[in-house]
Structures are given as C-alpha cells and as structure tokens.
Structure 1
Amino acid sequence: MNLSIVVAHVDHMFRGQESFEDAMFVKDYCEQYTIPFEMTRINVPELIEQTGKSSQTTAREARYEFYAKIMNKYHYSYLALGHHGDDQMETMLMRITRGSSGKSRAGIPFTRPFHNGTIFRPFLNLTKGEIEAYCKKYQLKPRLDPSNEKSIYSRNRFRKEVLPFLKHENRHVHEHFQRFSEELQSDESFLQELTVQQLNTVMTKREKSEIIIDINRLLSMPIPLQRRGIQLILEYLYKEKPGSLSAIHIDQILSLMVSPQPSGKLDLPNGLKIIRSYLQMSFQFELANEHTYLFEVREPGTIELPYGGRVGMDLIDREYVGTNGYYALFNAENIKLPLTIRTRKIGDRMTLKGMLGSKKLKDIFIDSKVPIQARETCL
C-alpha cells in the first residue's frame, strides 16, 4: 500500500522495570521487521508531584507532546492510535455514568485534528476479542499490562462486568456503540455551531477569568442551546475541566437563573463562583471583593482605578465648571486632606442629595438594582 510507518512508544515509568521491558519488546519487534522505532521514557509520577495534575492528564499531555515531536521529525500528518471497540464502549459507559454532557458522552472520536495533522483510530470497529484472534492466527504473542486486571480501576470493572453482559446480548454491540458515537458527534457539532452564534449576543463581558451574561437573552434560546451555552462558558474558563464537573452543575446553574429570588450564588469545583444578581449572572474564579483598594489624595491630580475609570481632583477659583461626566464642587476651606478613595466596607452609610440623615450603602445598591459583582468595585 506504499505506506511509510514509524512506531512511537512512550514509557510513562509507572511500573518501573516492567514497563521498560514492554518498550524493549516493541523495539525488538520493530527491529525484526525493519520498522523505524522511536521511544521516550517520561517520569510521569515525578511530573504529577510537580504539577499537581491527575495521573491521566499528566500522562496524556506528556505522551501527546512526544507524538507531536515525532510527527515533526518525520514530516508526517497522520497519527494512528490503537483504541478498539471495547475501549469505546467502556469510555461511553463511564462518562454517561459519571454524568458527562455534550461531546464527552460521544466517547472517542474516530478522527480529530492534532498538531499539524490528524489523529485517527483504525481499530474502533473491532473488538478486543477480534484483535486477540488475529494475534492467535498469526502466532503473535503480545505483552499484557497486569494493571488491566485490577478491579480498583473503574474502567476495569466496566470491562470485566458490564461489557461481557452487553456482548452476550448482542455480539455486534460494539458496532452500535460506534454508530451512536458518530451520530452524537455529528449532532453535537451542529448544535455547538448554533450555540456559538447565539452566545455572542448573550455575553456582556468576557475576560480570561470572568464572563457575565444577560439571563433573559440566554433563557430566550432553545433549552438544548442553553445547556450547551453554559457548557461552552465553563470550558472557556476552566481550560482544563475538572473530572468532578458534571451535567448536574449545569442543571444547578439553569435553576439559579429561573429562581424567583433576585440573587444567589453557586460554588463549582476548583473555586469557580457563579453569582446571580437580578438579570445578570457572573462566572468568575476570583470575587472582586477579594481585591479591595485604598488611595489617598493629597494634591490635585488623577488616579487610575484598578477596575477601570478614574478619579481626579482640581483646585479652581469659580463656582461653575463646564465639563462632562460626574463631578462635585466643595468649598476648599471645608475639605481636609488627604481625601480617601476606597472600595466599600460593611456598614458604610451615605447621605444622598435631598435626604435627611443617612442610608446604608447596601440598601442604596439594592434599591438601584446594582449587580452584586459591581457593588464591590464601587468607591
């Protein structure tokens, strides 16, 4: 078929000498059949300690980084991986059981973009049994990872307990799972495209660690798009989505939106805060009131505020100032410097023009329906 193939092998060093011998087994096989072979040993347990990431994430990132280097070295545009039909069923069942949503439920894609090329998985329509039968027919003797037999891993429990039942019910069940996966991915891609188009009109603020949306605009979208809109926001903010995040959290966010209460708060995994205030909802990792500020003004000049805007003080010799924006005039003889410019504190009170006495700042904000997240940056 005029194919040019290079075998790339990664030893994650989880199993010490045993996994190194696996690598040597693959190396010897490739040398026997004159197949170019590339390998690397990556101390993933050490990387886990350094980064604090999960073992799966750390191993995957290290592995794919190596694959990208090999593709560059040989100028290849395709990366073939060995996932088979049983892997697909296990993955889909685990994700549905865990409460995954969106494309995650569709399992392992047959093909997807990667680096400067494409990943594809040619064995997804084959079962593990069919691959084993092929090995037996051609007298191949593969090495087996003993950790695949340990019942402490949830994937192994699905493999040893659930899959045999499904295969007994229908020996072609892996083909149905693969067809279902491809249909889900196709449907999801279409719905995601519609969601992105409408979501741009919903977001009123979009920053690296915070997104604010207009609740009414989101609720005007069809419910399937509402769910996917929330999912896209979470994916954007999390970068690396925590395993504990599930469809239940999306339901909680939607419930908070339609709650008769004008305000509320949710705490999501890894410190993400969901704050509803009237018809706005904020998704943010750091609450604004965790970053208070205080400035002292001792002479005429302008101060740039941390959250945008500015405050200036001028000394003038007339009662009327022709200027735009917000300003107030005071008799200089009655002003004692320095003036303090700060964010609010609990219990602050103020007197509004025309009011006798004072009123709590919190009550003024509530009466004016100032969103919670905006109150904390008011000076």
Structure 2
Amino acid sequence: MALIARQVAALRRQVLETLRHHALCAPGDTLIVAVSGGADSVALLDLLATLPDLPLSLVVAHLNHCLRGGESDGDERFVAELAAARGFPFETCRVDVRALAAEQGRSLEEAGRDARYAFFDRLRQQYAAVAVATAHHADDQAETFLLRLLRGAGGSGLGCMPFRNDRAVIRPLLEVSRRDLLRYLHERGLAWREDSSNLDTTLLRNRVRHELLPLLETYNPSVMKRLASTAYLLRQDEELLARQVETVFAELVLSDGSGLVFDAASCGCQPEGLRFRLYRRALELLTRDLRCFDSTHIRQLDRLLLHGGTGARLPLPRGLVAIRTADGLVLSRADAALASPPRATEITGPARYDLGNGLSLLVELAAVAPTSSDADDSTALVDLDAAPFPWQVRPHARDDRLSLPGGEGSRSVGRLMIDRKVPRHLRPLLPLLLSADQPLWLAGVRRSGHARVTERTGTIARITVVGLCLRPAAGIRSHRRDGPAEAPSKLL
C-alpha cells in the first residue's frame, strides 16, 4: 500500500510540475475539463481534483458526438454521474457529427474537432475559465508524430501538440504515458468506459497505435518516450523560428486592408525555407486555419512569386486567390481582389462619405497649433479658407498633377505612385481629392502644395481615408476573429 501511495503521489507531482513549468494555470483558476469517459480523461479529472497545493475550480464538459448510438449515450450518462459524485458542475452537448460532416462536406474528424472547439469556447466564456484541459498524453504525442511523418510534414507539423494552444486548450498530461495513467486508475480504484472505435484498425491512428508502435518498440522499448521527446524539441525550435519569421514578415510583407502583399524583389532573394514560412504565416493570418493548405500550395505560391507573369492568378482553398502583379504577389480573398475604383463623391462639409468597396472618407474640423505639420501621408490637413467646400473625390487619372510645396513645380500622380512604390494592384483604388478642380491630395500618398496649413490658417479640416491601407502586416488583426480592423490609411 505504501508503494501504491508513493506512485500516486509521484504522478500528481509530475502533473503539478508540468502545470507550473509551462504556466498552464494558477491556484484558484477555473478550468473546463474535457471528459469523454475514457481512461485518459477520467485520470485527468481525478488528478486535477487532487493536486497538492493547487486548488482549482473544475467544470466537467462532455460532447456527445452521436457516432456510436447507445454506446455514446452511455458515455454521456457515465460522465454525468462521475461529475455528480464529485460535486462538479456538468455541461453536455449533443452534436450529430456525421450529419454535420455531410452537410459541410468535411471529414468526421474535422467536423468533430470544430464541434468540440465551439462547445469548449462557449463554456470557457460562460464560466470565465482560463483554459480547457484535455487528456492528450505522451502516447498520443508519439502517435501524432508518426501520423504526420507518414503523411509528410515539416518541422511545424512534427512539433505536434503544444502544452497550450492558441484556443486556450491546455494538455497537462503530455509528459505522462498511457501505461502510467492506467496504473494510476487501477491504484485509485477508478472505473472508466472503453470506446469500441479505438479497436477499429481500418482507422490509420489505430493501426499506428496497435501495429506500428508495438513493432517499433521491438527496436527501442522506449520509442514512445523518444518520439514524444523529439516532438517537444521540434516544437521548441518551431517557436524560436516563428518569432524570427514574425520579425521578417513585418518587414517584408505589407497589408493593403483586404489582403497581403509580398514584394517580389525583397522576398524573392530570401532563402526558400524562409519564403515558405512567410507564405504559411500569410495563409494563417487570412484564414486562421492551415489544415486545408499543403506543400503543393506553398510551392505554387513560390513559383508564382518567382516566375509568374503579371496578372497570373492562383486560386486557393478557403476562397483565397494569389495574383502576380508587376512588382509582387498579392494574397487576398477572391472577392476583395475584384475591388473597383472609388466612386465620384461631392464633399459638402464635415461628415463620413462612403466611396464604395468598404472605402470611406472621414472629414472633420481640427484645432491644430500653428506649428503643427500636415506632412503625415496617412491624413491630410486642409486650409478651409484657401479651399472651401464643396470638394470632389474621384478616381485619379494617370496624368493628374499635384503641385509641390515650396514652388517646386508639379508631378503627375502616376510618377508619384511609382516613386512611392505603391503596388500596381492598389493604384486604381486610390481616390483623388480636389477643390475647384485643383488636386489637394492623392489619398495616403501625397498632399499637394495647394491649401496647405500654415501659421496663418484659421479654419482647418482633417481628412482620413478609412478601409485602404498598406502597412507592415504585423499590424493587421491576427486570425480576424472580430473582422478586419478599421484603421486610417497609411500607404507608405
């Protein structure tokens, strides 16, 4: 009995160390615990409920996938009784995953995963929980590593499951083997449910579990631990590389408000491995999900950037399209790539004016100190005494000319856009602001010398373009969970 008690205590200490080392939760936190009724999740619930020096508020969550009929319903009842016996809140949800997959044209695995995340996200908000704890363990990590190796994956894929992902899911058991969890359950006298589908060797994961891994153990009895350790080391390398890629991405890739722009000259001279990571990062930002993109898509993007002719297009999953411009590669949603020039609009006073395609012009009266400058291209300040309302906004013509300040003559808007290296696909979208046919501002690119604010200016108008921007892509909202950010235009 003393040996059993020591083994139980040792496993609890191991899990506690994982939680602390990876900062997965803190004393008093609320956790949603995903409990299927199987051995792994039952052990996880018991461990989290009995950790020394780490009191937690636990909510038991069970998603009934409705895939195994009465067996699935039995799992749900078992977990409900388990939660009630321990006095934990219990939340359940029934989703016909098979029907959902058929409706969406997706695999059972994908439909089930999305259903679980939707359920967990709702509960996490409902209970103000810091995370959702799942029972993935070291054997799962090793199996996932082999599955991805068999299917073909790079370092990011072989890094497998992190201790915490970006959906607030934590995995406290990733350093614990299935064998240790089963022994813990026996030592604690805990019951669990067996999922009959885990024995179906027509499923690749089950074949890896029941056939490949036992074979590999004849070569190395510790192969499970070695594979899980390799996945962890690759994950660490990937996190380091991801930080470096993020820095380069912010320097080389620009956002135009609806998509991302790769400059052919600066990106094309980078090492192939770095270019591939830049494409993957862009796809992740635009779709939140890389599962539908594979190495073929990445290589096609690279060929388009390096060798594609101007106007060449590459359709991609999730409604994306890549377009090769004269000076780069634009990656955006297909509908955004069809944007048309701004519509002609009369500006009669301070207000917000819709120019179409999600583009608008915000005109405000401004109080600016006499020493202020209006040189920032993201906005324009206008002396209303020199250029009174009404104004006009229209698409620019290539031979429109802006007077330069200081008596330096004038320059065509076409030349100004070339000098400022405005991507070709954006140039038709830039509105031109005029007063009595005198150009005031090529939005976001250059103010003319006409009606500029001086120390003698009395009434000042500030104009900002909303919905058109070209700035470092690090500034866009990652994952677009709340939709695109509405930000002032800043082309260069």
Q: Structure 1 length as normaliser, TM-score? A: 0.69
What residue number does 1:164 align with? 214
Contact 1:289 1:377 in 2 (8 A): no
Q: Does 1:231 align with 2:284?
A: no
Residue 138 of structure 1 deviates from its aligned partner by 4.7
Q: 1:283 aligns with which of 331, 337, 345?
A: 331
> What amino acid is aligned across from residue 13 of structure 1 in structure 2?
C
State which of 187, 190, 194 in structure 2 corresponds to 1:144.
194
Q: Alignment partner of 1:110: what SS?
A: coil
User: Which residue number in structure 2 is paired with residue 240 of structure 1?
Assistant: 289
Match of 1:39 in 2: 91
Q: Deviations over 1:264-312 (max 9, x none)?
A: 443333443222234311213316785678999xxxxxx9575977249
Distance 1:271 1:72 in 2: 30
Deviates more, 1:77-86 or 1:50-59: 50-59
Counterpart of 1:218 in structure 2 is 267
Is 1:125 the counterpart of 2:178 in the alignment?
no
Q: Deviations over 1:211-262 (max 9, x none)?
A: 221012113434433221111011112233343x212322232233333866
Aligned residues of 1:95 and 1:104 also touching (Cα < 8 A):
yes
Letter in 1 for 2:172: P
Closer, same or farther: CA 282–294 of 1 in aligned 2, 3 Å: closer
Q: Is the 8 A contact 1:304 1:311 kept in 2?
A: no
SS at match of 1:156: helix
Describe how 1:182-331 pairs up with structure 2 within 5 A.
182-208=232-258, 210-243=259-292, 245-259=293-307, 264-286=312-334, 310-311=394-395
Q: Does structure 2 conserve the Cα–Cα contact (< 8 Å) formed by 1:13 and 1:41?
A: no
- Corresponding residue number in structure 2 for 1:331: none
Q: How far did residue 101 of structure 1 move?
A: 4.1
Distance in 2 separating the partners of 1:176 and 1:322? 67
Aligned residues: 321
- Measure how far apart 1:153 and its partner are: 2.5
User: Which amino acid in the other structure matches residue 290 of structure 2?
Assistant: K
Deviations 1:134-171 (A, max 9, x none): 44455544211112222333222222232222222222
CA-CA distance at 1:189 after TM superposition: 1.7
Answer yes or no: is the 8 Å Cα contact 1:99–1:246 preserved in 2: no
Q: Which amino acid aligns with 1:132?
A: L
What letter matches 1:146 in structure 2? S
Q: CA deviation at 1:180?
A: 1.8
CA contact (8 A) 1:262 1:278 kept: yes
Equivalent position to 2:77, from 21, 24, 28: 24
Root-mean-square deviation (CA), in Å?
4.1
Structure 1: gaps of 5 or more residues: 297-302, 314-320, 328-369
Q: Which residue of 1 aligns with 2:387?
A: none
Q: Specify the code of the residue in structure 2 equivalent to 1:36.
A: F
Helix, strand or coil for the counterpart of 1:122?
coil
Flag the 1:187–1:293 CA change in 2: closer, same or farther, 3 A: closer
Equivalent residues of 1:242, 1:269 under 8 A apart: no
Structure 1: how far apart are the matches of 2:122 and 2:319?
Answer: 35
In structure 2, runs of 5+ residues without a counterpart are 1-51, 345-353, 360-392, 404-409, 414-421, 431-492
Report how far residue 58 of structure 1 moved. 3.7
Q: 1:291 to 1:222 in 2, by over 3 A?
A: closer
| Counterpart check, 1:155 vs 2:208 | no
Q: Does the 8 A contact of 2:60 with 2:90 survive in 1?
A: yes
Aligned-partner Cα distance in 1 for 2:158–2:87: 37
1:80 is the counterpart of 2:133: yes
The amino acid across from 2:201 in the alignment is: S
Corresponding residue SS for 1:111:
coil
| Cα distance change, pair 173–232 in 1 and its aligned pair in 2 (3 A) | same
Given residue 14 of structure 1, which amino acid in structure 2 is its aligned partner?
L
Q: Which has the higher contact order (CA 8 A, sep 6+)?
A: 2
CA drift of 1:263 comes to: 6.5
* Contact 1:201/1:217 (8 A) holds in 2: no
TM-score (structure 2 length as normaliser): 0.55
Note if contact 1:98-1:246 (Cα within 8 Å) is conserved in structure 2.
no
Q: Could you tell me how far 1:39 is from its partner in structure 2?
A: 2.7
For the pair 1:175 / 2:259, whether they are aligned, the reply is no
Distance 1:47 1:114 in 2: 22
Counterpart pick for 2:150 among 97, 112, 118: 97
CA distance in 2, matches of 1:375, 1:75: 46
Query: How far apart are the structure 1 equivalents of 2:63 and 2:297?
Result: 36
Secondary structure (helix, strand or coil) at the match of 2:262 reads: strand
Instruction: Work out whether residues 212 and 280 of structure 1, in 8 Å CA contact, stay in contact via their aligned partners in 2.
Output: yes
